[in-house]
Amino acid sequence: MPLKVRPVKLRDSLYLLIPVDIARLLGVASSSDFQLRLDENQDTVKLVYELKKGEAESNDTKKG
């Protein structure tokens, strides 16, 4: 079953938040860099966020 999230509006922008449990599972940190890709077909548009495996951990060690 997919997880449904709603955009959060801050000032003039909309953000999709990562639930804390998923962020912990993936090792996402505030310094993590994501790439966003749009996959579009006739019926839907998918927002695909990519985070390279191991990137979050290496970002955390840089803070060290």
Domain that includes residue 18, residue range: 8-63
Alpha carbons 43 and 13: distance in angstroms, whole number:
25
CATH number of the domain residue 23 falls in: 2.10.260
* Predicted confidence (pLDDT) at residue 6 exceeds the cutoff of 60: yes
43: in domain: yes
1: in domain: no
50: in domain: yes
Looking at the structure of the chain, the number of domains it has is: 1
**Averaged confidence pLDDT in the chain:** 87
- Residue 64: pLDDT band with limits 50, 70, 90: low
* Predicted confidence (pLDDT) at residue 19 exceeds the cutoff of 60: yes
Task: State residue 2's pLDDT score.
Answer: 83
Alpha carbons 19 and 31: distance in angstroms, whole number:
16
Backbone torsions φ then ψ of 50, nearest 5 degrees? -115, 135
40: in domain: yes
33: in domain: yes
**Given 3-state DSSP classes, what are the helix, strand and coil percentages for the chain, each rounded to the nearest 5?**
25, 30, 45
